[in-house]
Structure 1
Amino acid sequence: MSSSTISNISLFTQKYTFYTSLIIFCIGFIGNLINILIFTTLKHFRNNPSILYFTAESIANTIQLILFFLMNILIQVNETDPANLSLFWCKFRGMMISLCTLVSFSTICFSASHQYLSTSHHFYLRQLSTIKTARFLICISVIISMLQTIPFGIFIEIQASVCAIFNQNMLNYISYFYYPVLSGLLPVLIASVFSILAYNNVRRIVRKQMPVVRRRLDQQLTAMILIRIIMFIVLTLPYDIVRMYTYIAKVDQSNQLYYAIINLIGSILVTFFNLNYAISFYVFLTTSVRFRRQVKRVLVKKCWGRCKRCFFNNNNKVHPFGMRGSLTSSVVVQ
């Protein structure tokens, strides 16, 4: 009975992980592409640091979703994890996941801090946040994140057909710094503090004589960032807590039923955590009425309009035809 229960839990975990990853990839890939399209198309979004952070986050999220999708597809096709067989894929996968996670989370923190600075009533604080500063911070974030992945590339290895980290010092780094601080409490704390401060700033802006266009844009971006960060906190903290418990408590794998249950809980929390890379577009869509109008304008009026013009222009041709020996021409308009 215990053996069959363990087998059923493991099978359910495997199927659940595959299908949820497929769903998250589909909705996330489409959403991030639309984000990039909207933020790079509309003129009033250009040269805005928050939008640059959103775009960088969407790019990092897209790469992350592709990696997760490939991982699960390869496992499903080969019926085993290719990372347990290929040292290159084992190291590359771990490094890229860490890189994209840190870049994505850092851009969330940067967008919250920028919104606080740009909405401040102090002029010298508003001057600190510019498009040049945003580009510089994104470049620094990518460089630091790449440097941080080097230990993963060194210490991730394959032992007994298992791709993992076996070095105790690296395990301590992951258990006590990477998960609880670098990809856990630190970005959550920074994003929370600055988003609350930005919200308070926007409430003051409403009472002041500010240009209507700027006031509306600040309100829109602050609402989008605030809800995005709330979702970020809700989806990130449970996963980090379980990961820290797994590494620090050292779950006993000899108790197979307990280990299977922990894996199932971990898979469910990984699903919620991975939603971080997929839901930003949908959060913006449900949060901001203006963003919905902007999406409609870009997708319907611009993109669909261009496709329609290209399609119908191909049918607007001059077709000669003859009638009792005389040649005339007619323009056939579809």
Structure 2
Amino acid sequence: MSTKDTLNFISQQIHIYYGLSIVILGVIGGIFNIIIFTTLKIFRETTCAFYLIIVSIVNIGQLLIALFVRVLSEGFKTDIRSISWVCKVQIAMAGWCNAILFTGLCLATIDQYLSMSKYRHFSNLRSAQRNILLTCIFWSIYCILFLIYWDTTFGTCTVIDSRFAIYVTRFQYPILFGFFPLTTMITFSLLAFYSARTLVSRQVNIVRLSRDRQLTAMALIHVLFVVITTLPHVIYFTYSLNQVSKDPEQIARNNLIFSITVLIDYSSYAVSKLLFGKTEF
């Protein structure tokens, strides 16, 4: 077996075993989170919990729509996106889930900070519901671009417009779905963490204190895993933009590294869920 075939085989096995494990754990964990946030009274009427419910729902959708399809394609060599309309719909829905996921996490961290500051009047359930509605509408309109500019070419689901391809590779993935949301989440998570630590010195109801500290911990641990697991993929993706090689062995090696960083990125959907129920300052 040549080096190229070995690298491709390793990539295939990683998708089958590691990829499928992430899908199963992520879906179970997402359902578990939804049950917790919707049944426990201490969380049910809080805005941060509402955002985390939306994030959990979208996580499940992202795992089934994006990662599972990738596992089928790369692991079992069954690419359902070879059909034109499947390619368009799958890419649009995966992009929509990804956008809602990052926006929901940003809103959750911002809201948790606001709820423990002098601007707490901006943190209420009605505003959160309106924010999610506007977010869904905005990203639904945005994802129409995927329906237009993605299609099946020679059996491969890809961007069919060169200008849009430049936009996707130079701005959408590294900036819009990378640097910008990660920076926002890190900033407001740290601010929320600081506020949660100082609540104990104020005259705050003990129930509210416990709830706010736990919600902040949940949001923070989720953001932490998203940042840690997303950065390798963003960095390698940005690096690969300037790498052009026609060597089959090098292409196979690059594809393996890309596959590993993608699966690490998706692993945050599963791991963070398992830690939610045990996280508290």
Instruction: Provide the TM-score with structure 1 as the length reference.
Output: 0.80
Q: 2: distance between equivalents of 1:285 and 1:82?
A: 36
> Which secondary structure does the structure 1 equivalent of 2:152 belong to?
strand
Q: Kindly provide the CA deviation profile for residues 215-247 of structure 1, in whole angstroms up to 9, marking residues without a partner as x.
A: 11111111222222111111111111222333x
Are the equivalent residues in 1 in contact too, given 2:225–2:272 (CA < 8 A)? no
Q: 1: distance between equivalents of 2:207 and 2:33?
A: 21
Shift of 1:23: 0.3
- Is 2:278 the partner of 1:278? no
Instruction: Note the 1:250-329 alignment, pairs <5 A.
Output: 251-252=244-245, 254-288=246-280
> Which secondary structure does the structure 1 equivalent of 2:143 belong to?
helix
Q: 1: distance between equivalents of 2:220 and 2:50?
A: 17
Name the CA shift for 1:259/1:241 in 2 (closer, same or farther; >3 Å): same
Instruction: Note the 1:42-191 alignment, pairs <5 A.
Output: 42-67=40-65, 68-73=67-72, 79-84=77-82, 86-120=83-117, 122=118, 125-191=119-185
Q: 2: distance between equivalents of 1:286 and 1:43?
A: 18
Are the equivalent residues in 2 in contact too, given 1:57–1:104 (CA < 8 A)? yes
* The one of 22, 30, 33 aligned to 2:31: 33
Specify the alignment match of 2:242 in structure 1: 249
Shift of 1:42: 1.1
Shift of 1:166: 3.4
Q: 1: distance between equivalents of 2:78 and 2:126?
A: 46
- Is 2:225 the partner of 1:231? yes
Are the equivalent residues in 1 in contact too, given 2:43–2:211 (CA < 8 A)? no
Q: 1: distance between equivalents of 2:23 and 2:13?
A: 15
Are the equivalent residues in 2 in contact too, given 1:251–1:259 (CA < 8 A)? no
Are the equivalent residues in 2 in contact too, given 1:32–1:280 (CA < 8 A)? no
Q: Partner amino acid for 2:137? A: I
> Which secondary structure does the structure 1 equivalent of 2:45 belong to?
coil
* The one of 202, 209, 213 aligned to 2:203: 209
Shift of 1:251: 3.1
Q: 1: distance between equivalents of 2:50 and 2:79?
A: 36
Aligned-pair identity (%)? 32
Q: 1: distance between equivalents of 2:20 and 2:53?
A: 23
Are the equivalent residues in 2 in contact too, given 1:64–1:277 (CA < 8 A)? no
Q: Partner amino acid for 1:17? A: H
* The one of 11, 14, 24 aligned to 1:13: 11
Specify the alignment match of 1:305 in structure 2: none
RMSD: 1.7
Q: Partner amino acid for 2:40? A: L
Name the CA shift for 1:145/1:82 in 2 (closer, same or farther; >3 Å): same
Q: 1: distance between equivalents of 2:261 and 2:71?
A: 16
Structure 2 gaps of 5+ residues are none
Shift of 1:266: 0.7
Instruction: Provide the TM-score with structure 2 as the length reference.
Output: 0.94
Q: Partner amino acid for 1:12? A: I
Report which structure shows greater RCO (CA 8 Å, sep ≥6). 2
Q: 2: distance between equivalents of 1:141 and 1:203?
A: 30
Larger radius of gyration: 1
Shift of 1:94: 0.9
Q: Partner amino acid for 2:17? A: Y
